[in-house]
Structure 1
Amino acid sequence: MTNRYTLYGAEISYFTGKVRAYLRWKGLPHDEVPADAQVYREVILPRVGFPVIPVVVTPAGETLQDSTDIIDALEHRHPGPPVYPPGPVQHLASLLLELYGDEWLVIPAMHYRWHHNREWAMQGFGELNAPAAAPDEQRRIGAKLAQPFAQAAVLLGAEPSMHAAVEASYEALLGELDRHFARHSHLLGTGPSIGDFGLVGPLYAHQYRDPASGELMKRLAPRVARWVECMQRPGPPPPASGAFLPGDEIPDTLLPVLRRMMREQMPVLEDSARRVAARMAGHPGEPLPRTLGMHAFELEGCQGQRIVRPYSLWMLQRARDAYRALAPADRGRADALLARIGGERFAHFDDPPRLRRDGLSVAPAA
């Protein structure tokens, strides 16, 4: 038995960036294998049952899938230093930021990739899936494989009428993060939290690496670019260094990012919860579909449409669980933070019935 983990993923992949950063920061011995067509056919499909990355195979031969579940499983095996802050308010904030990165920043990530970096991305998909093919053949393969991802950019909310709003919101976020990183090396101190890993997925794979997006980030937010580089650095010396801010502090420089998350994402999560609860009431015991039609959302004063994604509520459920479990004194401090960031919607959220992850979607909890 080897003592090394194997990460099946891709540089071009949103969630591989999240897991890779975790493995590197923890100093966990691992090998990364690009998920080309052969790897999908011979490893991923037999082990997981559906085509998805990232996938981690443990030294004992266990298969882990889903970036959040992968990190949680590895954190249980390698608990120190933790990526979940011990302070209850920092813990809650880190979960909210992971939710924001995983489930909301997908909108600008997909927009910039498929509306500003399309040709580069298609070539990258071809190179990944057919590394031995000629460039023209890679381009043809990449164009075919990329088609559903390009369509997903619009379904997620980056329809033509929303392009300017998506870009305005993202560029404002870059400015907010850049001002934060002028004072702090990470979101909550000198080492990463689960929130850092949630944000680095989109900010590395789609925004830093894609050429047009990378130029934009380095020009508008050079400190964000340096944080991304730090988060993806192989074998940081020493591994797993850094600490969270003392006193369970949430830095003032992070409040604009949390306000943006509450303003943009929480109304969508509220409507998603209503739709999921209604669906579950009308179809008791049935699995939830991966999408439940379309609903409205707002960015920078503009109204758009996007698909309803029940999976986002499973991610929200993690933060809600942490909030509900707070002791009274800690709840008071968390409520004070939520009041400062416009988080009343989160504090009084009307939770749907409990959900469990089921592959790429979610289902009613048993």
Structure 2
Amino acid sequence: LAKVREQQYRSNLRAVRGTRKLNVIVYGASVSYYTGKLETYLRYRGIDYERRSPYPEAKRLAQGVGCIQHPILEDDDGRLMTDTSPILLHLEKEYADNPILPDDPVMRFIALLIEDYADEWLWRPAMHYRWSYDHDRELLSRILADELLAHLKMPRFFRIRMVKKRQRTGFVINDGVTAETWDHVEQGYHNILALMSGVLERRPFLLGSKPSIADFGLMGPMLRHFGQDPTPAEIMRDTAPAVYEWVARMWHIPSSHQQGDWLTDPTDLQRLLQEIVETHLAQLKANALAYASGSKKFSMKVQGCTYQKLPVSRYRVYCLEILRENFASLDESSQSELKTLLGAEAELLWSDKVCAESDYDRERAAPFNRAINVFEDGVPK
């Protein structure tokens, strides 16, 4: 029945669209990590959209998708979607002849792994630079207070103060950024800049001559945080101009780049994959083990740096489940190639040693399911 309904929906949508572009509403902030990722994709596909704050319509949106998080997408038939990864994959059904997922199964898995790393690991340094540095914090708190909270009947200075306190306390102090981890958090940003710069010297996009879901994933942190916030943007301009250029290229991709070739040999991605294994997969493993034990906090050691009292994320257990499902769906030859590329430290992608079940979206209905926050109450405590 669900399949029949989906087919009917696609048929109705094509009838509504005809030859015009799809018009959608994106509920999110102009400086939002994941909203930037989604907007980049919509621009690439030529889908017209209007961006709005979700909070004036918070009750309706929460009833529709389960929780308020940026972005929420409203289709032109009124359907609501949330969570950018499944949103992109859902919208891709309209573009089967020119997908953002590589045909080769190994490269496709790598693209999805890079996207997940961009979504979940780079979040911490992105929030750190935004809320730990005075100049960035003062600028962004004003933007968010004016853009998202103008409907609240309270003085502007109070709205600004409220934003600063919530964001810095929740996403910096309570997410493991301390005097002991500060340098490692920032090194993660420098590492990805160097790794991307090396790749972009050889081709215009990460996995070939056209963008993949890996590129769109990295636009989350690179566009709205690292590329715009004063401190990380200066670092990017000074040390990684090729990445700065790539951000602009992704935001305005000419039609000539909608056709192109995929990379077939992932050898030159080895260092990037190693960084992902050492950081993102290490965090997913520690988080999953803590969730399975019923813990609310966990500690982990990443590249020699110890993080303590990190908030356990049920959603990130789900992220690991999706990666494991994608790996399990591969043929034996592709699995073998990836095991060699990623190494033994990545065994949580194929081993049963890390056993945790999120019990989230069991029907795999995303982006139309009842969503949950990355952290239980939306902000780490």
TM-based fold match above 0.5: yes
- In the alignment, is residue 324 of structure 1 matched against residue 328 of structure 2? yes
Whole-angstrom CA distance in 1 between matches of 2:77 and 2:97:
21
> What pairs up with 1:227-238 in 2 under 5 angstroms?
227-233=246-252, 236-238=253-255
1:348 paired residue number: 351
Mapped pair 1:33 → 2:33: no
**What corresponds to 2:193 in structure 1?**
174
TM-score computed with the length of structure 2 as normaliser: 0.82
Tell me the equivalent position of 1:64. Answer: 81
Question: Is residue 217 from structure 1 mapped to residue 236 from structure 2 by the alignment?
Answer: yes
**SS of equivalent residue, structure 1 residue 174:** helix
- Pairing partner for 2:38 from 19, 27, 30: 19
Task: State how many pairs are aligned.
Answer: 342
Per-residue deviation, residues 219-266 of structure 1 (Å, max 9, x unmatched)? 111111111122222xx33176143425x32141x2212111101122
Displacement of 1:354 in angstroms is 6.0
RMSD: 2.6
Q: Distance in 1 between matches of 2:206 and 2:320?
A: 19
The answer for the alignment partner of 2:305 in structure 1 is: 302
Distance 1:220 1:16 in 2: 26
Matched residue SS, 1:343: helix
TM-score computed with the length of structure 1 as normaliser: 0.85
Per-residue deviation, residues 265-301 of structure 1 (Å, max 9, x unmatched): 222222222233334xxxxxxxxxxxx4221223442
1:1-366 alignment runs, 5 A limit: 3-28=22-47, 30-35=48-53, 37-40=55-58, 44-45=61-62, 47-116=64-133, 117-130=136-149, 137-151=155-169, 152-233=171-252, 236-238=253-255, 241-246=258-263, 248-252=264-268, 254-279=269-294, 292-305=295-308, 306-339=310-343, 342-348=345-351, 350-353=354-357, 355-357=359-361, 358-361=370-373
Answer whether contact 1:21 1:231 (CA < 8 A) is retained. Answer: yes
Question: Could you say if the C-alpha distance between residues 32 and 343 of structure 1 is closer, same or farther in structure 2, counting changes exceeding 3 Å?
Answer: same
Aligned to 2:211, the other structure's residue is in SS state coil
The whole-number CA distance in structure 1 between the counterparts of 2:256 and 2:73 is 20
Distance across 2 between alignment mates of 1:27 and 1:45: 28
1:54 Cα deviation (Å)?
0.6
Distance of 2:179 and 2:205 partners within structure 1: 34
**CA deviation after TM superposition for structure 1 residue 144, in Å:** 0.9
Give the direction of change, closer, same or farther, for the CA distance of 1:21–1:310 in structure 2 (3 Å limit).
same
Change (3 A) 1:142 1:244: farther
Q: Hey, what's the Cα distance between the residues in 1 that align with 2:138 and 2:168?
A: 11
Q: Secondary structure at the match of 2:51?
A: strand
- Over 3 Å counting, the alpha-carbon distance change for 1:36 and 1:330 in structure 2 is closer
Code of the residue aligned with 2:45 in structure 1: it is K
Q: Tell me the SS of whatever aligns to 2:27.
A: strand
Deviation at 1:320, TM superposition (A): 1.2
Residue 128 of structure 1: how far off its partner (Å): 0.8
CA distance in 2, matches of 1:214, 1:361: 28
Task: Specify the SS of the correspondent of 1:56.
Answer: strand
Q: CA deviation at 1:161?
A: 2.2
- With over 3 angstroms needed to count, the CA separation of the structure-2 counterparts of 1:49 and 1:359, relative to structure 1, is closer
Q: Secondary structure at the match of 1:356?
A: coil
Q: Which structure 2 residue ranges, 5 or more long, are not aligned?
A: 1-15, 362-369, 375-381
Q: CA deviation at 1:39?
A: 4.4
Give the 3-state SS of the residue equivalent to 1:265 in structure 2. helix
Amino acid in the other structure paired with 2:282: P
Q: How far is 1:329 from its partner?
A: 2.1
Q: Structure 1, unaligned stretches of length 5 or more?
A: 280-291
Q: Share of identical aligned residues, percent? A: 26
Counterpart of 2:33 in structure 1: which amino acid?
Y
Q: CA offsets per residue over residues 149-172 of structure 1, 9 Å max, x none?
A: 211222222123211121123212
Letter paired with 2:96: P
